Structure 1
Amino acid sequence: MTSTSPADREVVAARLLAGSIKRSYDPAVDLDWDAPLVEGRYFLPPTVLSLYGTPMWESMSEAQRIELSRQEAANILSVGAWFENILLQALLRSLLHQDPTSLHTRYTLTEMGDECRHMTMFGRAIAAMGVKPFPLRRHEAMVANLLPKTFRGTMLWVAALIGEEIFDATQRRVQNDPQLQPMMSRVMRIHVTEEARHIRFAREGVRRRVAQSHPIEKVWVGSVQGVGGLLLQRLFTNPTMYKRAGLDPREARRQALANPYFRANQRRGFDSLAAFLEENGLMRAPSRAMWRRAGFL
């Protein structure tokens, strides 16, 4: 659906609401949190870990590799929780200017409910792993507190896609990997199912805004959204997770950033979103350069 009239917005919301009624989850009851972890299983498949295939990886024991997967998974879930928090704040602000009786508003609230449950699910998963979450550093927290105030119009929907699609693409590839802990497979399946609706909602929001907004907004968003790539690169190679896994954090991060397997995974995760941004005129030269520098292009 590419039409951008207000009536179409309501049609999209109605379909997504129907999907939410048919297939939504409550992590409190849809995951067996009391089930023990399976000895020898990974928390993320080896092939998507940042150090896979590096000299450091080759020197690690199987137990060290599994521990790295535990820390990387906890880091990604922590990032996911912080992002959901920022998105929720931005969506709630946007509702101040929406018709409270519209289906669009009703689906926005439904998505917010999904995201609240996802944050709960991520937190419980980290606890079940037996590790601590990865907190935001002071400067990251300052930026995180400002972002919800800047996510408006086209930028709101593009930011939602950056935070959702790259994670979603990876989860879709690995959710059924036999090496995964059953708990992690279940978390990914639930997240993928519900995020599919969120991504559809955000993509339609982008198309509608691009058609209706001033060209200057399109140029501005297309020029600055690449900052998301630089931020994700930093978060995906958080030195603290290497330190917690018993590795030299500086050398581990250096090898991860130079790792062709890691770069290939980044590009694979960004492929679909990159094509969508190009299609809608939202991949300008500055952003393209930032995504390329971050290893996603």
Structure 2
Amino acid sequence: MTSISEREAGTDRETTARRLLDSSEQLSYDPVKEVDWETPLDTDYHGASPEWSTLYGTSYWADMTPEQQRELTRQEAASVASTGIWFEMILQQMILRDFYAKDPTDPAFQWALTEIADECRHSIMFARGAAKLRAPAYRPRRFVVEAGRIFKATATGEAAYAAILVAEEVLDVMQRDWMRDERVVPFVRTINNIHVVEESRHMKFAREETRQRLEGAGWVRRQVNALVVAIASYVIVGSMWNAKVYENAGLDGKRARREAKANEHHKSMLRSSCSGLMEFLHSAGLLTKPSLWFYKRANLI
């Protein structure tokens, strides 16, 4: 017999899904038409806000020429985009697996397919954007790729949706800065604007799914999934800035990696970007003492 709380949760979920579907119908973009793919890359622009560079604020940054700084931010933007593609492919498979053989008349089912369609377009957009930035294919380390393969095949419930939320929240804060920054090349600003608008709906869905899946969850389940989400967050954030961006920007890779690792400014930027996320995880009971170790290692808290 279905309890009152379960019926109410189902109604809330349906209402949220319908609202997101309506929003998607009213405000969605076609990157093929919206992004200026034809104009050649103008190297007088950055690829991302300089303040988000892993070297910004270091002695190496001060030693670099403006041209080197701009090239580095372009390579770093391409690296972040490539990591986004990797995780969006994981996300799509987790959602498909979650909604496999469920009721197709359910608005949540229809929203799940809408989100997958969005992510497919985003991945193509990111791929074309990285190519236009004249960057190679930045991929996570082999171990991370294989760990992602296991995660996408096994993560369920709140572990899957909270991990999705982490990746989307970190990207969202960065891209809100980039899309408003006139120092950033215009086509990248357009890409960021599209992603921010459409991902806001995805984040709403991920929050609602996380809350719903946690209803009635016991202490052990919360502890285990809090740790899974924290480890996933550590891996995702650690993969955003590929170590090869420095050589590809014409820099001394060894010095760059050493100074980037110790860069307190960049760590501070990451922490500030995740304040809202950490509040949500805390309210959901997913910010436990063991999980804090991974968030601190990832400079998210």
Smaller-chain TM-score bracket? over 0.9
Structure 2 letter corresponding to 1:144: G
Of 176-185 and 96-105, the range deviating more from structure 2: 96-105
Query: Which residue of 54, 57, 71 corresponds with 1:53?
Result: 57
Query: Which residue of 166, 170, 175 corresponds with 1:162?
Result: 166
Q: 1:40 touches 1:66 (CA, 8 Å); kept in 2?
A: yes
Q: 1:164 touches 1:195 (CA, 8 Å); kept in 2?
A: yes
Give aligned-pair identity as a percent: 35
TM-superposition CA deviations, 1:182-235 (whole Å, max 9, x none): 001000000000000000000001111111434432221112322134314432
Gaps of 5+ in 1: none
Q: CA deviation at 1:246?
A: 1.9
Structure 1 letter corresponding to 2:29: Y
Which runs of 4 or more aligned residues in structure 1 lie more than 3 Å from their structure 2 counterparts after TM superposition?
A: 212-215
Query: Which residue of 177, 194, 198 corresponds with 1:194?
Result: 198
Report the Cα distance in structure 2 between the residues aligned to 1:6 and 1:173, rounded to whole angstroms: 36
The equivalent residue for 1:102 is 106
Asked if residue 115 in structure 1 is aligned to residue 116 in structure 2, the reply is no
Query: Which residue of 174, 177, 186 corresponds with 2:178?
Result: 174
Root-mean-square deviation (Å): 1.7
Gaps of 5+ in 2: none
Q: Structure 2-normalised TM-score? A: 0.94
Of 231-240 and 281-290, the range deviating more from structure 2: 231-240
Of 237-246 and 8-17, the range deviating more from structure 2: 237-246
Q: CA deviation at 1:140?
A: 2.4
The equivalent residue for 2:228 is 224
How many equivalent residue pairs?
296
Q: CA deviation at 1:5?
A: 1.2
Q: CA deviation at 1:131?
A: 1.9
Q: CA deviation at 1:241?
A: 0.9
The equivalent residue for 1:250 is 254
The equivalent residue for 1:33 is 37
Asked if residue 259 in structure 1 is aligned to residue 263 in structure 2, the reply is yes
Asked if residue 42 in structure 1 is aligned to residue 46 in structure 2, the reply is yes
**1:175 match: secondary structure:** helix
TM-superposition CA deviations, 1:88-110 (whole Å, max 9, x none): 01111111152122100000000
Q: 1:71 touches 1:244 (CA, 8 Å); kept in 2?
A: yes
